Amino acid sequence: MAAPDLETVVSLAKRRGFIYPSAEIYGGFANTYDYGPLGVELKRNIRNAWWKSMVQDRDDVVGLDAALISNPNVWVASGHVANFGDPLVDCKKCNSRFRLDHLEEGDYGPVSRDASGKPLCPNDGGELTEPRQFNLMFKTQVGPVEESSSIAYLPPETAQGIFINFENVLTSMRRKLPLGIAQARTSFRNEITPGRWVFRTLEFDQMEMEYFTLPPKDRENPTEYLAMYDQWVEARRDWYSEVVGVDPGRLRLRPHDAEELSHYSIGTTDVEYLFPWGWGELEGVACRTDFDLTEHGKLSGHPLTYFDEESGQHVVPWVIEPAAGLNRTCAVILLDAYHEELDEKGEKRVVLKFNPAIAPIKVAVLPLSKNARLQPAAQRVYEIVRKRWMSQYDETQSIGRRYRRQDEIGTPLCVTVDFQTVGEEGQPGDESVTIRDRDTQVQVRVPIANLVEALRDRLDPV
């Protein structure tokens, strides 16, 4: 179907317990959101699916969980203290602040310009100041003394925790190259651009992997390295459609041109999604070369190298980095899964068509009605199901409304306990229940004795 508008999905996400604006009772807080009971499951499922693809299913990648706050020199070596900024301009009339690159790209609306071609304030046409570099890293103080030596930074990416642990992982795990180290954790950026929901927030979870490879024989012509990079680019795009279930027609790859490349990269390709406001980055795959290991080696005085048995030399590995955003992926999944269609009775139903692996609630157990004879059997079924999958039990309102509620939160299967299960008054039941499929709305009857197997076939078909 056509993309839903953003407000529809933002409102459903709030109403049904996925994502709330943070601190709403205080009027909210810039670009900050909280994840509700369903949002936290959604996030966890996406993170687990990423971890499974990147770590569990591969022999050449291991995991890591590095500290968030660490030695500030980490961010000096990485170039973030000097380079990690956005060009900001202020309106001299209304004092509003804008990111110049986003303003030029039309993010604040159509760009009007003065006679010399300089952009003007999108609010009131006022003159803008010259751009100033604004560092996106949050600073904090470590220890009791407020002085510059105690300054530390909140991490704006997870990658550096991986680079500084490269040698630890290599030696403790007795690994050879190529070796990937994966990490999924929170990052922080003092973003000033308007939020667009969870697309851009001050704190966000990243899922990053640094893939360490032998350096190319010819630095100017790193053919094999670039071939590996191409493979990662494709693999990461395919992950969104094949594992997460995003419509492949709304995904594209966009290589960066030379001016756009970060200071550490010789090539970057973004996996982009067609958001309601246009194409936007979901993940970046970057050729970080030996930049980070070399810089950490220089500043720390502790060279970070690998002993290549073939050449008999210590070499600095070259790195390929797929860096994904968990919160943006949540936004994409909610937007992409949203469907409006007609139900059995020709009435509108809203369905979130999540892949079962991603769905927050896998099974809902519903007695046909709130009835004393149905309850014990329904509770018994619920106890069987909830041990294995995130499940809900719901007996309020009509069965049709309860199906609608489960459709709206993307529950793949509903199990209904009815009078055939328990038997009419004075009659024995047949101990069977129905399984209703969210997408087809088709119901099949299965004996309770076979229920776990029947659900597993539908939910975890691996």
Residue 301 Cβ vs ligand ATP, minimum distance, rounded to whole Å = 28
Q: Which stretch binds ligand ATP (CB under 6 A): 120-128, 320-328, 370-378, 413-421?
A: 320-328
Number of residues that bind ligand ATP (CB under 6 A): 16
Name which position in 4, 122, 284, 322 contacts ligand ATP (CB under 6 A): 284
Yes or no: say if 431 and 448 are a contact pair by the CB < 8 Å rule: yes
Name which position in 167, 224, 247, 281 contacts ligand ATP (CB under 6 A): 281
Q: Which stretch binds ligand ATP (CB under 6 A): 198-206, 221-229, 350-358, 429-437?
A: 198-206
Q: Which stretch binds ligand ATP (CB under 6 A): 21-29, 293-301, 322-330, 352-360?
A: 322-330
Tell which positions 409-438 bind ligand ATP, by CB under 6 A: none
Task: Please tell me whether residue 323 binds ligand ATP under the rule CB under 6 A.
Answer: yes
Task: Please tell me whether residue 88 binds ligand ATP under the rule CB under 6 A.
Answer: no
Amino acid in the structure at residue 243: V
| Cα–Cα dist 343/161, whole Å | 50
Tell which positions 205-264 bind ligand ATP, by CB under 6 A: 206
Residue 415 Cβ vs ligand ATP, minimum distance, rounded to whole Å = 36
Q: Which stretch binds ligand ATP (CB under 6 A): 15-23, 201-209, 302-310, 336-344?
A: 201-209
Task: Please tell me whether residue 360 binds ligand ATP under the rule CB under 6 A.
Answer: no
Task: Please tell me whether residue 189 binds ligand ATP under the rule CB under 6 A.
Answer: yes
Residue with the two structure tokens 């041109």: 257
Task: Please tell me whether residue 325 binds ligand ATP under the rule CB under 6 A.
Answer: yes
Q: Which stretch binds ligand ATP (CB under 6 A): 102-110, 278-286, 369-377, 402-410?
A: 278-286
Task: Please tell me whether residue 327 binds ligand ATP under the rule CB under 6 A.
Answer: yes
**Looking at beta carbons only, is 327 or 392 nearer to ligand ATP?**
327
- Other Cβ atoms closer than 10 A to 64: 20
Tell which positions 143-162 bind ligand ATP, by CB under 6 A: 157
| Cα–Cα dist 293/171, whole Å | 16
- Chain positions contacting ligand ATP, by CB under 6 A: 157, 189, 191, 200-201, 204, 206, 281-284, 323-325, 327-328
